[in-house]
Structure 1
Amino acid sequence: MKLSIERSALLKAVGQAQSVVERRNTIPILANVLIEAEGDQASFRATDLDIEVVDEAPAKVERAGATTVNAVTLHEIVRKLPDGSLVTLTDDGASGRMTVEAGRSNFSLATLPREDFPVMATSEYEANFVCSAPVLRRLFDKSKFAISTEETRYYLNGVYMHIADANGGQVLRCVATDGHRLARIDADMPAGAEGLPGVIVPRKTVGELRKLLDDDDAEIAVSVSETKIRFAAPGITLTSKVIDGTFPDYTRVIPSGNTRRLEVDAAEFAKAVDRVATVSSERSRAVKLSLDEDRLVLSVNAPDSGAAEEELAVAYGDDALEIGFNAKYLLEIASQVDRENAVFLFNSSGDPTLMREGNDETAVYVVMPMRV
């Protein structure tokens, strides 16, 4: 195999590959990227047995072939090469080495046989649809903060993607929760998504997927089966197993009878929470919200380090209320708001609180209160 490729194209392809491979693994081949060169392009494939990513890049192929080399090492080499350089990758297939040449730099890397590289089995997909990158980005970006990190409740370690009924029609919905907060984000249902089985997309896959969604003009082909999900953008395909578990009935924890309505400037609110939480030694310290007519007082009382208080002008016309929240959770939810105002709907100091972006009901957040 011998090919020449632009440094920038190689860096992008290998960068995606090296982020998928597991740093600590007992199977040496899983640390490698499979490079296949044919025609006028090269493909770079990496897997951790749960996720597989294939990135294609234009290349000048002098001799078709394939080999595998350590993904992290290759990425570090390419990252340190000068901008605009042309990189030549050569593997004679006999020496067990691949050379990387660019300008006056020359590297020789150990290879492993391509036959040992595990390729994820193809799947029969039950639903195939196309979705624009900004729509998918919104669905996952706004929900992923609520993914649980508890290994015991593994079925919460991802984003639940499914078709749901809303306002007399059907929507494509993503939900994540860790038991303390919940995010539910809706988008118009794309054509072809009708038969979509509900799947839990793992946390690592959500992180890798984000790299495919930066191009606002990209159309992403999504294929879903009971066990796998595949996202294909121009030049790159990400395939992942889904979490084998049942996502809980999240509709039961979304309150419908909360009537006390607070409207506040989302950016000002987030800054104020951040400021008063500074005196708290632990990030999980509760912030108390004291509500009265058109007035909100945020306060933190940390006996070992001090106290803080800040007042905000808000729109609130219901009975006075005092309620406490984890400062970190409040900040994460407030940071999801794209519009100017955040609307909080309360019931009592012990009940879950609902948060929306203005009157938009396609993004709904729930946060459990804390005792203060």
Structure 2
Amino acid sequence: MKVSIERSALLKAMSRAQSVVERRNTIPILANVLIEAEGDTISFRATDLDIEVIDKSPAKVSQAGATTVGAHTLHEIVRKLPDGALVDLVDDGTMGRLDVRAGRSHFSLATLPREDFPIMASAEYDCNFAAKAPVLRRLFDKAKFAISTEETRYYLNGVFMHAADGANGPALRCVATDGHRLARIDAPLPDGAANVPGVIVPRKTVNELRKLLDDDDADIAVSVSETKIRFATPEVTLTSKVIDGSFPDYSRVIPQNNTKRLEVDAAEFAQAVDRVSTVSSERSRAVKLLLEEDRLTLSVNAPDAGAADEELAVAYSDERLEVGFNAKYLLEIAGQVDRENAVFLFNSSGDPTLMREGNDDTAVYVVMPMRV
């Protein structure tokens, strides 16, 4: 194999590959990236056996071939090369080495046989549809903060994607929850997605997918089966197993009869929560909300650190209410609001609270209160 490729294209491909590859591997080949060169294209394939990413880049291929080399090592080398460098990758297939040359720099890297590299089995997909990158970005970005990190409840360690009846008609819906807060995000159902099976997309896959969604004009081809999901652009294909489990009936925890309505400037609210929570104990980070007519008082009382309170002018006309929340949860939910105002709907100090962006029902958040 003999290939010349621009440093910027190689760095982009290796950045995607090395983020999929786990740093600690008991199987040596899984630490490597599979490099395949043919025609005028070079492809880089990386996997951890649950996720596989393939990145194709244009290159000058003098001699077709394939090899595998340490993903993190090659990424670090390319990252440290000067901008604009032309990188030569040469493997004559006899020495078990890949030569990497750029300008006066030369590296000789150990390789492993390409035959040992595991290729993720292709699946028959039940549903295929296309969605614009900004649509998928909104769905997953707004939901992922609520993904559980509790490994024992593995079925909550991802985003549940499915077709649903939304407030504005059929919707592609993403839901995540950790039992303390919940995010439910809707987008208009794309053509061909009506029969999409409900799947739980793992946290790592959600994070890797985000890297495909930066181009606002990109169309993402989505393929879904009961066991796998694939997101593809002309250059990059991301395939992942989905979590084998049943997502709970989230609709039961979304309150329907919360009538006490608070409307507040989302940015001002987030800043105030952040300020008063500075003195809270790290363990609980509890902040108390006192709602009175057109006034919200945020307060924290941490005996070992001190106390703080701050008053905000708000729109509220119901009875006086005191309710406590984990400050971190409030900040994360307030951080999802793209519009100016956040609307909180309360029932009592012990019931779940609903939050949405103005009157927009396509993004709904639920947060459980705590005693303060």
TM band (smaller chain):
over 0.9
**Runs of 4+ with >4 A deviation:** none
Secondary structure at 2:318 match in 1: coil
Matches within 5 A, 1:11-26: 11-26=11-26
Identify the residue that residue 371 of structure 1 maps to in structure 2: 371
Using the alignment, how far apart are the partners of 1:54 and 1:168 within structure 2? 36
Do residues 135 (structure 1) and 151 (structure 2) align? no
State the match for 1:265 in structure 2. Answer: 265
- Residue by residue, what CA displacement relative to the aligned partner does 1:44-79 show, whole Å, maximum 9, x if unpaired? 000000000000001000000000000000000000
Partner residue, 1:218: 218
**Partner in structure 2 of residue 161 of structure 1:** 161
1:233 Cα deviation after fit: 1.6
2:74 is matched with which residue?
74
Contact 1:218 1:234 in 2 (8 A): no
> 1:229: which partner in 2?
229
Match of 2:277 in 1: 277
Query: Match of 1:114?
Result: 114
Q: Deviations over 1:282-302 (max 9, x none)?
A: 063210000000000000000
Rounded Cα–Cα distance in structure 1 between residues aligned with 2:268 and 2:189: 34
CA distance in structure 2 between the aligned counterparts of 1:13 and 1:63, rounded to whole angstroms: 20
1:37 corresponds to: 37
After TM superposition, list the pairs within 5 Å mapping 1:319-358 onto structure 2: 319-358=319-358
Are 1:104 and 2:113 matched, yes or no?
Answer: no
Paired AA for residue 183 in structure 2 = A
Structure 2: gaps spanning 5 or more residues: none
Q: Which residue of 1 aligns with 2:250?
A: 250
Q: Which amino acid aligns with 1:346?
A: F
For the aligned residue pairs, the C-alpha RMSD in angstroms reads 0.7
Q: When the two structures are superposed, what TM-score results if normalisation uses the length of structure 1?
A: 0.99
CA contact (8 A) 2:169 2:188 kept: no
Asked if 1:174 is matched to 2:197, the reply is no
1:361 alignment counterpart: 361
| Distance (whole Å) between structure 2 residues aligned to residue 151 and residue 226 of structure 1 | 21
Q: Distance in 2 between matches of 1:361 and 1:234?
A: 34
With 313-322 and 282-291 compared, the bigger mean Cα shift is at 282-291
Secondary structure of the residue aligned to 2:115 is helix
CA distance in 2, matches of 1:166, 1:67: 48
Match of 1:188? 188
Identity of aligned residues (%): 82
SS in 2 for 1:119: coil
Provide TM-score, normalisation by structure 2.
0.99
SS at match of 2:83: coil
Give yes or no for contact 2:97–2:108 (8 Å, CA) kept in 1.
yes
How many residues align? The count is 372
Asked whether the 8 Å contact 1:18–1:72 carries over to 2, the reply is yes
Cα contact 2:167–2:361 (8 A) shared by 1: no
Aligned to 1:307: 307
Give the conservation status (yes or no) of the 8 Å contact 2:199–2:243.
yes
Corresponding letter in the other structure for 2:70: N
- The amino acid across from 1:7 in the alignment is R
- For the Cα contact (< 8 Å) 2:17–2:45, is it kept in 1? yes
